[in-house]
Every structure is written in C-alpha cells, then in structure tokens.
Amino acid sequence: MKISYDSEVDALYIRLLDGDYECRNVHLSDDIALNLGPQELLVGIEILNASAHIGNGEVPGVELDNIKLVESK
C-alpha cells in the first residue's frame, strides 16, 4: 500500500495494489472516487480537497491493527 499526497492540488491517493491496472472510477461523492480494476478489484482510493476530509489539513497517522508487515524489496 502506498499513500501519496499532492499539496499543490490538495489530493490524496491511497494505492492498495502494486502494478498497472486498467481501472474504472466509481464516484462516491464529488471528491471521493474508487479505482476498480478487473473483477471489481479495489486498486485505489482518490480523495480530492483532501484537507477538508482528513480533519485539520494534515495527513493523519496510520495505525495498522492485526496486519503482518512484509519487507520491501
């Protein structure tokens, strides 16, 4: 998983899967879209106007609960 933030456009992207996928977008609202790949696989989540959605304008801490970490190559 990779979380990217672009402060110039105030957009946050949460990439759940590595690799290249042809995706379709499902808009949950004007600012939030899901990127769905083959077989409706959730590839990523895009959040526009991110600072309005994540609280005080700062990316919050990430807590992993009951998730085994794997080493990066």
Residue 28 lies in a domain: yes
Residue 72 lies in a domain: no
Residue 70 lies in a domain: no
Residue 35 lies in a domain: yes
Of 54, 43, 42, 45, the C-alpha closest to 7 is: 54
Q: Which residues pair with 25 in a beta bridge?
A: 35
Residue 7 lies in a domain: yes
Instruction: Tell me the whole-structure pTM to 2 decimals.
Output: 0.77
Which residues lie below 8 Å from residue 53, measured CB to CB, with a gap of 6+? 12, 31, 32, 47
Residue position matching structure tokens 């990066």: 72
Q: What is the pLDDT of residue 55?
A: 67
Residue 47 lies in a domain: yes
Q: How many domains does the chain have?
A: 1
Comparing 64 with 49, the larger pLDDT belongs to 49
* Cα separation, 50 vs 41, whole angstroms: 23
Residue-range definition of the domain harbouring residue 13: 2-53
Residue 60 lies in a domain: no
Q: What is the pLDDT of residue 65?
A: 83
